[in-house]
Amino acid sequence: MNLGDILTAQQIVPELQATDRWAAIDELIGVLVTAGKISIADREAVTAVVKKREQSMSTGIGFGIGIPHASTDLIPEVVAAFGRSKNGVSFDSLDNQPVHLVTLFLVPQGQFQKHLHTLAGIAKVLRKEEFLKALEDAPSADAIMQVVRHYSAQR
């Protein structure tokens, strides 16, 4: 499972309004609610699960990348939302640098292998310098989606 499989242009925010990791998580979960990937009734519970996971250790992995994620029984399949911030989001990252790319993903409870494979796939593509440059230059959610599909398809 790669990022191109679980994202749509509707699940991409070309310029996050958030300035900290908690607001970024709220904003991206809102995107998933709007896209119909999370029910509005489950929004608070899903947000709480992601924030609880984030409190245990920041998912700001360094290099301007944050990957907040969690498992929950409130979704039937892996879902994701992606946000870009040109100004950067304060994320309590491992390298103490602001995060410019946030990929939030959720995996159904009990699917540990899928969780690990999804996290590894996202981290792998986000380490490609040409991918990061293409994301930075993409002018819209549709353009970001094209970049994601192109680079996610490469093995």
- In this predicted model, what pLDDT tens digit does every residue of 28-60 receive, in sequence order? 999 999 999 999 999 999 999 999 999 998 889
Mean predicted lDDT score pLDDT of the chain: 92
Question: Which residue type is seen at 125?
Answer: V
Among 17-26, 68-77, 86-95, 113-122, the range scoring the smallest mean pLDDT is 113-122
Pairing of strands 60-62, 65-66: antiparallel
Report residue 1's pLDDT band, with 50, 70 and 90 as the boundaries.
low
Q: Which of 69, 115, 117, 150 is catalytic?
A: 69
Classify burial at 133, counting beta carbons within 10 Å of its beta carbon; exposed 0-12, middle 13-18, buried 19 or more.
exposed
Residue 100 falls in the annotated catalytic set: no
Q: Domains in the chain, start-ordered, CATH in brackets?
A: 10-153 (3.40.930.10)
